[in-house]
Amino acid sequence: MNVPFLDLKAQYHTIHDEVNQAIQAVLDKTAYAGGPFVKSFEENYANYCGCDHAIGVSSGTSAIWLALLALDIGPGDEVITVPNTFIATVEAISFTGARPVLIDVNPETYNMDPNLLEAAITPKTKAVIPVHLYGQMADMDPILEIAKKHGLKVVEDAAQAQGAKYKGKRAGSFGDVGCFSFYPGKNLGAYGEAGAIVTDDAGIAEKVKILRDHGQPQKYYHNYIGWNSRMDGIQGAVLDVKLNYIDQWNQKRRSHAEAYMQLLSGMDNIILPFVPEYAEPIFHIYAVRVKNRDTILEKLKEKEIHCGIHYPVPVHLTRAYGFLNHSKGAYPVAEQAAEEELSLPMYPELTAEQIVYTAEQLKAILS
Ligand SMILES: *Cc1c(COP(=O)(O)O)cnc(C)c1O
C-alpha cells in the first residue's frame, strides 16, 4: 500500500467544481493582483480568526517580515524566537535588519519555553515571535504576560496553525499580529504562494496594507519604501472556497491523530505528540520522536510509507546563521528534536487503512 506524506490531488478532487468555478470567476473579471477576491477572503479570514482585520500578502514569509516592519522593528533591535522552526521565521527578522535571538523550546510540546524568555530580554529587545509548531499553539499566557511586563510586541508565527486554538481562542488572535502561510502544503493551502496577517489594530493593518503595495496608500503616491507583497486574485478565490472546509479538514486530522495515538501507544521506543490541557491542535504535522530516525525513515520508505522531517537542522546550526556563532549544544532540546523527529503521513483524505498500515509497519520496524 502506498502512503504519501501529503496528497493535494485527493483534496482537489473533493472540491474540483467549486474551485474551478472560483478560478474562472477571477479570469472573467481579470482581477489578478489584489482586487475583490482577495478582499472577500480577507473579510472571511478575519472573521474566522476572530480578529478585526486580515491582510492578504504574497507568502507567510512576507507576512512575518511586513508585520515586523509595521511594528517599526529594524536595525539595532532584537527579536526573540526559537531555533526549531522553518527558517522563514528567522529570515523575516533578519530582513528587517534586526538581530534574531533564539531561546530553546519545551521538550514535550517543542514550542517556545516561556521559562527561558525573560533571561533573553535585553534593552534592545522589541518583539517576541512564538511559533505554533506542527499546528499546536505555544503556551501564550506566560509569553503575553512577560511581553507586557517588558513592553515587547508579540507576533505569532501561525503559519502551521490555521484554526488551532489555545484556551478556546484561535491562533493569530493573541499577539499584536498573527502571521499565516497558505503555502500549498499547509492546512489551508492556496494553489500557489500566499499568506496573511491578522490583527485587531487598525494602524498595523493599514500599515501592512500600504507596505505590501510599495508603500503607496494611493497609486503612485509612496509614503514608505515598501515592497511588492500582494496576494494574487486566484489565491484569494481558491482560499475563500477552501476556508469553508477548513474546520472539517482539521477535524479529520484530529481523528487521524487519535487513531495513530491508539495504534502506537504503549511502545517505549517512540514518543508521541503531547497535547497540553490548553491546546486544541490541528495536526499540520503528526510529529513523533524515535532513535535512529534516519534508518527508520528509510525502512518506512521501502514499505511505500513516505514520512518527513521537520526540521533536520535547527536554525542556529544552518550555514546561513553561522554568523550568530552558536555551536552544537547551544539549544539542546531543539537539537535533540532535529535528530529524532519523524513526521508521519498526515492529511484529511488519509484513509483508515493507510493509518493502520503505517502504524503496523512502524511498530514492526521498532520491535
Ligand atoms: C511555512 C512556514 C513559514 C513561511 O511561509 P511561506 O508561505 O512558505 O513563506 C513560516 N513559518 C513557519 C513556521 C512555516 O511553517
Q: How far is CA 131 from CA 54, 165, 230, in A?
A: 19, 13, 23
Predicted pLDDT at 49:
98
Same domain, 211 and 315: no
Cell triple for 275: 497535547
100 close to ligand 1 (CB < 6 Angstrom): no
> Across all residues in the chain, what is the average pLDDT?
98
What is the Cα–Cα distance from 292 to 295, expressed in whole angstroms?
A: 6
Q: In CATH, what number is assigned to the domain containing residue 320?
A: 3.90.1150.10
Ligand 1 atom nearest to CA at 284: 15
CB count within 10 Å of CB 273 equals 21
What is the Cα–Cα distance from 13 to 287, expressed in whole angstroms?
A: 27
Predicted pLDDT at 59:
98
Query: What's the gap in Å between 159 CA and the centre of ligand 1?
Result: 5
12-45 per-position pLDDT tens digit:
999 999 999 999 999 999 999 999 999 999 999 9
Predicted pLDDT at 297:
98
| Of residues 174, 178, 179, 101, the one with CA closest to residue 142 | 174
Best mutation site among 91, 182, 183 for ligand 1, i.e. most ligand atoms within 8 A of its Cβ? 183
Total domains in the chain come to 2
CA dihedral 202, 206, 212, 213 (to 10 degrees): 160
Same domain, 236 and 265: no
84 close to ligand 1 (CB < 6 Angstrom): no
Map grid coordinates 492529511 to a residue: 347
Predicted pLDDT at 182:
98
Same domain, 159 and 293: no
Same domain, 261 and 353: yes
Paired strand residues for 221: 218
Write down the pTM of the prediction.
Answer: 0.98
pLDDT below 50 — which residues of the chain? none
Cell triple for 89: 521565521
Write the DSSP symbol of residue 267: -
Same domain, 266 and 239: no
* Domain assignment present for 157: yes
Paired strand residues for 306: none
Ligand 1 atom nearest to CA at 186: 1
Taken as a whole, the chain contains a residue count of: 367
Predicted pLDDT at 79:
99
| Domain containing residue 306 | 246-366
Domain C-terminal end among 243, 258, 290:
243
* Domain assignment present for 145: yes
Query: What's the gap in Å between 60 CA and the centre of ligand 1?
Result: 5
Query: What's the gap in Å between 285 CA and the centre of ligand 1?
Result: 13
| Of residues 202, 235, 245, 236, the one with CA closest to residue 348 | 245
* Domain assignment present for 3: no
Q: In CATH, what number is assigned to the domain containing residue 237?
A: 3.40.640.10
* Domain assignment present for 344: yes
Predicted pLDDT at 137:
98
Domain C-terminal end among 243, 265, 292:
243
Q: At what angle do helices 36-49 and 233-243 cross, to 10 degrees?
A: 40
Paired strand residues for 180: 196
Query: What's the gap in Å between 93 CA and the centre of ligand 1?
Result: 13
159 close to ligand 1 (CB < 6 Angstrom): yes
Predicted pLDDT at 106:
98
